[in-house]
Structure 1
Amino acid sequence: MMDIDEPLDFEVEDSLLINPVVPSKRKNLMGLDELLTEHYKEQSKLIENEARKQAKARKCYVSDDEDKNCKEAMLASLLDDCQKQMKAIHSVEEMSEWGLCVFGEQKTTPPLSFPELGNWSILQSFMNNELNSLVGLTKEQGCTFLEGLLKNGWLLKFIFKCGCVEKSLATWTFFLMLYSSKEELRSSACEFWCAILSSKIQVGMRPIEIDWYPSYPELKSALETYGFLFNFSSNISAENSSGCKGPPQNIITWIKFTAVYCQVRCNKQSILLTSDCQELAEVILCLFLDRRLQGLSVLMRNCMQSIISSFTEEEWINSYSRIAKSIASRVPTDLNCLRAVQCISGVDPRTKHLKSVVAFEILVNCFENKLLPT
């Protein structure tokens, strides 16, 4: 029988059981003194490396500081040279903003009393009507009554109904438009005139007969009352305009009326002479040079377009050169020159041509001023 304590067959064949692995002895642990020694060696190496880096950095910093000081010295020298050159150039003037004062002291406005207004036929017919017994309108109250009709638009409706504007009514509304201190009155009067003038140029609209047309002297007289300087000095700039007055609020209605008035002239209505239109163009271009009128730029551009379009072809050939020379002689040779050219805006051939001629005349004046002996 097999002994119980004997190994089994498969156990005899197992090499691990026959020759068991004897674990090797661990190495002895490093002592504390050795650890400290290694630590100090590593620290000393780090300190040496850091010292080398700092030494190199100091050399670089010294080199950078020297370069920086050299560059600063060169820059300071260049600035000194520039300042010396600027002081040596006596003819250089300081650049200022564009802008001229084209309005001076305003005059007293003419009286707005029109006793002949009571003779207006429509007013007379209303006063003689039986209904007037209920209203009790008198001849002395006629002006106040008509002002109410003008402001609410009924006066214009009466005119379109009867198809005629009598002289008394035309002069009254015209002077209200140009000289009234009440904004509602002058605006209503301006709308009244623009409407009756537009009836002559709008297709399919019944033209209104007007017994009295304002002439250019009336428009020019209004500008003189506003204080417009027809021969303004180029030395009166926007910066030195503390003593200048204006512009008055009535200039808005003046510009609107002038634009429509020139449109009527385009339709062969000879209400303005060629010389009148030339001077109107010069006036509008001068208004562009007043900084206080920048808010009216759109109105002034529309007015300028109407004036330019009002010339016939023959009139324009003889007019654009005069307009350009007049503007060039008025405008000082500074930023106002650029403003004068810039404000002539438009895509039509006449406007483009006028812009180029004005620029040319200004350049001619600039060169002549440089060549003149001082």
Structure 2
Amino acid sequence: MVMDEPLDFEKEGEEEDPLLAAPRPAKRKKVIGLDDLLLDYYETNKDERKRNKAENSKHGSRGDNSDNLDEMFRANSEKEIKICKIVESLEEEAKKVDAREDVPLWGKKIFGCQKRPSILSDTCVENCQLLKSFSADEHLGFDLDIDKGEGFLEGMLMDGWLLKLVHLSGSVEDSVASWTLTKMLYSSNKKLQVSATDFWESVLSLDEGDKVLVKLGYLPTFSVLKRAILSYGYLFDAPGTKASTSASSAADSLEDDGPPENIIAWVKVVSACCKFRKVRSIFSPSEAEHLLVIVISLFLDRGLEGLLLVLGDCLNSLILYFNVSEWENSCVRAAESVAQRVSLDLNCLRIVDCITGTNDRSKFLRSQLALQLLKISFGLKVANVERILKLVTTINVKEKECDLFKLYVYLVLMDKLLFSTDAFRDKTMVVHSWRNYLRNCSTQIGCSDWRFYAPKVRNKASYLLQGVILKRSADCGNVSAR
């Protein structure tokens, strides 16, 4: 017996040990592809046909069956070819109906290249009386270096002590007010920017009796705010921005840094200045109109979707900023300005839908925006509602040349124009004509209509028709109750 060989019972244990892992199956050397399966299938059928043909040649009585099988196979192949040609022809016809691509999403490029202003180095805050009082106070326990006074004020501002001192003294120096406003509008330090914004919202707030809490000699002017937003790269007022669609803005967003960091502070201080009018008017009516156009345009920037509440509050403050005698004319001018810069696509619908206020002024602005957009689209010099309604209702949805996407925009804008306010609710002929046209749009466009935007026009018309019927029945109920 050889000493190195295992014992007999050790060999048996190896064979019968259930704890030993079973050997893995050998991997396939080649993965069978779809082409190989098809080739195998055709080769098998080919062999079968040869075998059947050989058997039929031996038995003369079955020769006719072989010929029949070949004829059946040939007939099925011809049918398959015909079906493929029919499908291809239908696809070509569908492309001829409307070869356009789908409509891009809403969105415009509102901000371009941002630049840093030179105003940051001209604050001269080191000479303010607040810093001088600190440096002259012997009970502080430390000496304040005037050259580092701005850094000292930044610390006080971020810690909240500057606002507490202002409330205790009851006034704000012009140099300190200008310095905090500059930090709010231009600083890249997020904490400093937020603290400066809180500072200005606090000093511009009023008490329950609509009286100022702090005396202010320096206030944010329109020129300061306009210079700030232009430094952010604001493009909406520049010529040629109307052609900047959402597709181009989506492509350019990869190169740009997006919306400016200080835009939230800018929007908040505009809102605070508007609410301050109960004490003092900071903006003239024309300046407020310009700010209204700017704030409305910000709703088109996809990078600012998270600021809808802040933008909505600012928009509502601007709407309420005007006096009763100023509002109507200013609203029409602002609506005209916006309509001239927005193309008639999903961007204009976005603009109208973002004015969500339920007060009479918000409804009037929404109606005027829809009116001005329709006026510009039809090339009218005078915004006549009855004429616009006639032009829309004469569009024949059965014609192949009918631009259904433009009709979809018209339907939404006309609904906003007619029912945002109560001006046309009592005009029976207008409401009846509009209701009939909506019924025609919802019934004359079939479910099998392959034209561009046909299903959306049919569904939108049906939805708006139900709204008109409900509004009409509600108005009739109110009249009968009276």
TM-score band (shorter)? 0.7 to 0.9
Q: 1:196 to 1:337 in 2, by over 3 A?
A: same
Q: 1:367 to 1:153 in 2, by over 3 A?
A: same
Partner deviation per Cα, 1:63-106 (whole Å, 9 max, x = no partner): xxx9xx99x96x9859845742642557x563110000011111
The 5 Å alignment of 1:250-265 reads: 250-265=262-277
| Contact 2:114 2:231 survives alignment (8 Å) | yes
| Contact 1:289 1:336 survives alignment (8 Å) | yes
| Contact 2:210 2:279 survives alignment (8 Å) | no
Instruction: Please state whether the residue corresponding to 2:138 is helix, strand or coil.
Output: coil
**Matches of 2:106 and 2:132, distance apart in 1:** 55
Equivalent position of 2:282 in the other structure: 271
Equivalent position of 1:20 in the other structure: none
Partner deviation per Cα, 1:124-149 (whole Å, 9 max, x = no partner): 122111124x2111211211111111
| Contact 2:197 2:269 survives alignment (8 Å) | yes
Equivalent position of 1:57 in the other structure: none
Aligned counterpart in structure 2 of residue 221 of structure 1, from 197, 202, 227? 227
Equivalent position of 1:246 in the other structure: 258
| Contact 1:100 1:289 survives alignment (8 Å) | yes
Equivalent position of 2:351 in the other structure: 340
Q: CA deviation at 1:269?
A: 1.2
The reply on whether 1:126 has 2:138 as its aligned counterpart is no
Instruction: Please state whether the residue corresponding to 2:304 is helix, strand or coil.
Output: helix
Instruction: Please state whether the residue corresponding to 2:366 is helix, strand or coil.
Output: helix
The 5 Å alignment of 1:326-365 reads: 326-365=337-376
Q: CA deviation at 1:205?
A: 6.4
Equivalent position of 2:151 in the other structure: 144
Equivalent position of 2:65 in the other structure: none
Q: Which runs of 5+ in 2 are unaligned?
A: 1-75, 381-390, 393-482
**Counterpart residue type for residue 192 of structure 2:** L
| Contact 1:227 1:245 survives alignment (8 Å) | no
Q: 1:85 to 1:365 in 2, by over 3 A?
A: farther
Q: 1:111 to 1:319 in 2, by over 3 A?
A: closer
Instruction: Please state whether the residue corresponding to 1:234 is helix, strand or coil.
Output: helix
Instruction: Please state whether the residue corresponding to 1:102 is helix, strand or coil.
Output: coil
Equivalent position of 1:84 in the other structure: 93
Q: 1:349 to 1:207 in 2, by over 3 A?
A: same
**Matches of 1:80 and 1:314, distance apart in 2:** 64
**Counterpart residue type for residue 343 of structure 2:** P
**Matches of 1:297 and 1:180, distance apart in 2:** 23
Q: CA deviation at 1:114?
A: 5.0
Q: 1:157 to 1:238 in 2, by over 3 A?
A: same
**Matches of 1:282 and 1:115, distance apart in 2:** 30
**Matches of 2:212 and 2:286, distance apart in 1:** 31
Q: Report how many residues are paired.
A: 298
RMSD in angstroms over aligned alpha carbons?
A: 2.7
**Counterpart residue type for residue 93 of structure 2:** K
Q: Taking structure 1 as the reference length, what is the TM-score of the superposition? A: 0.73
| Contact 2:204 2:212 survives alignment (8 Å) | no
Q: 1:353 to 1:214 in 2, by over 3 A?
A: same
Aligned counterpart in structure 1 of residue 176 of structure 2, from 169, 177, 199? 169
Instruction: Please state whether the residue corresponding to 2:266 is helix, strand or coil.
Output: helix
**Matches of 1:226 and 1:182, distance apart in 2:** 16
Instruction: Please state whether the residue corresponding to 2:241 is helix, strand or coil.
Output: coil
| Contact 2:205 2:212 survives alignment (8 Å) | no
Q: 1:214 to 1:206 in 2, by over 3 A?
A: closer
The reply on whether 1:189 has 2:196 as its aligned counterpart is yes
**Matches of 1:327 and 1:140, distance apart in 2:** 47
Instruction: Using the aligned pairs only, state the percent identity.
Output: 36
Q: Which runs of 5+ in 1 are unaligned?
A: 1-65
**Matches of 2:295 and 2:330, distance apart in 1:** 15
**Matches of 1:275 and 1:135, distance apart in 2:** 51
Instruction: Please state whether the residue corresponding to 1:84 is helix, strand or coil.
Output: helix
**Matches of 2:269 and 2:361, distance apart in 1:** 22
Q: 1:88 to 1:100 in 2, by over 3 A?
A: same
Instruction: Please state whether the residue corresponding to 2:147 is helix, strand or coil.
Output: coil
* Structure having the higher Rg: 1
**Matches of 1:121 and 1:293, distance apart in 2:** 39
Equivalent position of 2:243 in the other structure: 235
The reply on whether 1:208 has 2:217 as its aligned counterpart is no
Q: 1:122 to 1:295 in 2, by over 3 A?
A: same
Partner deviation per Cα, 1:255-278 (whole Å, 9 max, x = no partner): 11111111112x151210001110
| Contact 1:110 1:179 survives alignment (8 Å) | no
Q: CA deviation at 1:112?
A: 2.4
**Matches of 1:259 and 1:299, distance apart in 2:** 9
Equivalent position of 2:379 in the other structure: 368
**Matches of 1:261 and 1:204, distance apart in 2:** 14
The 5 Å alignment of 1:256-335 reads: 256-265=268-277, 267-335=278-346
Q: Taking structure 2 as the reference length, what is the TM-score of the superposition? A: 0.58
Q: CA deviation at 1:346?
A: 0.8
**Matches of 2:372 and 2:123, distance apart in 1:** 51
